[in-house]
Amino acid sequence: MDVLRKDEIYTIADIYALPDGQRAELIDGKIYYMAPPNTKQQSLVMELSYQIKDYIKRNNGACSVFPAPFAVFLNENDKNYVEPDISIICDKNKITDRGCNGAPDWVIEIVSRSSKQMDYYKKLFKYRTARVREYWVVDPERELVTIYDFVKDNMEEYSFDKEIPVGIFEGFSLKIE
């Protein structure tokens, strides 16, 4: 399913009013419906979440790992709501029963054909302006990870067979393959 757009201005209340099972994100008051993830996406979400959580646990870290569906309220308005594939949040004060209020420290999106425009453009801009520290776009089709380190204002690409350094955790790297 392609990402659908409506011209009206919507709020987070509209997202919560969607029928059960229908997932969508809200960016600047526009609703973008989400296709269900495929098996490869889900496998990547689980494996990456596990590796990150294991690293944090082994190092007595204070950060939490949340795979989708997990609500992230990026701004202090009711016009932006996203569900990153993986959210890593180090400030416990941002975590509530509803999700994350404010920017996660690290966001990972597993790109699909229907989400490319969102992940590489719209979300890139939203995450940067919301002050996410690090943003990864994992592209299984191209076997490529694009990393945006917003703190250092840097972008790098890595193939799945390379060790990928994690900017927010000193000495930690991941290999996707």
From first to last of its 177 residues, what are the pLDDT tens digits of the chain?
455 554 689 999 999 999 998 999 999 999 999 988 899 999 999 999 999 999 999 999 999 999 999 999 998 789 999 999 999 999 999 999 999 999 999 999 999 988 898 899 999 999 999 999 999 999 999 999 999 999 999 999 999 999 999 999 999 999 998
Predicted pLDDT of residue 17: 94
How buried is residue 93: exposed, middle or buried, by Cβ count under 10 Å (0-12/13-18/19+)?
exposed
Element (H, E) at 26: strand 24-27
Query: What per-residue string of b and e applies to 7-39 under the rule 16 or more CB within 10 Å gives b?
Result: eeebbbebbeeeeeeeebbbbeebbbbbeebee
pTM across the whole model: 0.93
